[in-house]
């Protein structure tokens, strides 16, 4: 093989590699989540991932759960309570609608967790019964009020505890959701009120990423 032939073969290989990379970016670039489009759907990404405190809570089956160990899936964390008259049932119903609209691959990578802001009344059994009305697969967490407040403050979704000395007290809390990545860190928020249609369109782009 002459030097000219070798040079031509090398140039052909380089051009093929460049074309391959270009097509790869075209094919896979559309799968990357666009922050502007996510924001339009109410998804706000943090500039840097935030680690969770090493708080241990109890799930609806009475098992201890370390919240900083919620890894393996993307997780939407909602702070609410079972005696909530409006925000909580509405939000959980919307999350159920969202789940129905997501493709199977996205559903498998996404988990919903409700952390009780009313641990005095929300026992594991109470949480289990309540969440079963929406989706038995939802994770319910309760525990010591101080631990729950620590977690809520760390995630940037604080709440005001209810006056437990009053009958039928309510708890002031946000409808925003914390968004955890599959590594167990907080990646952002989903703002309330939820836009189910836009979330169903944009979330698959996000949860398809590591």
Residue 28 assigned ligand-binding role: no
Rounded Cα distance between 40 and 37, Å, is 5
Residue 88 assigned ligand-binding role: yes
Angle between helices 87-101 and 196-207 (to 10 degrees): 60
Rounded Cα distance between 114 and 209, Å, is 23
Residue 148 assigned ligand-binding role: no
Q: Which two tokens stand for residue 21?
A: 């990379």
CA nearest to 74, candidates 16, 44, 113, 40:
113
For the annotated binding site for Cu cation, the residues are 84, 88, 173
């Amino acid at each position: 093989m002459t030097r000219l032939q070798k040079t031509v073969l090398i140039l052909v290989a380089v051009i093929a590699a460049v074309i391959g990379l270009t097509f790869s970016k075209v094919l896979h670039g559309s799968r990357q989540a666009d922050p502007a489009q996510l924001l339009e759907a109410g998804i706000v990404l943090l500039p840097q991932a935030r680690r969770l405190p090493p708080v241990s809570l109890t799930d609806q089956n009475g098992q201890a759960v370390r919240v900083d160990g919620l890894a393996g899936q993307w997780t939407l964390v909602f702070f609410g309570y079972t005696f909530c008259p409006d925000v909580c049932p509405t939000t959980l119903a919307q999350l159920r609608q969202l789940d129905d609209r997501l493709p199977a691959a996205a559903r498998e990578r996404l988990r919903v967790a409700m952390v009780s802001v009313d641990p005095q009344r929300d026992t594991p059994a109470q949480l289990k019964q309540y969440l079963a009305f929406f989706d038995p697969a939802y994770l319910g967490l309760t525990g010591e009020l101080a631990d729950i407040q620590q977690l809520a403050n760390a995630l940037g979704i604080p709440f005001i505890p209810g006056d437990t000395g009053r009958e039928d007290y309510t708890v002031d809390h946000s409808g925003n959701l914390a968004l955890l990545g599959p590594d167990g860190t907080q990646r952002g928020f989903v703002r309330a009120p939820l836009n189910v249609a836009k979330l169903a369109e944009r979330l698959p782009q996000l949860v398809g990423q590591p």
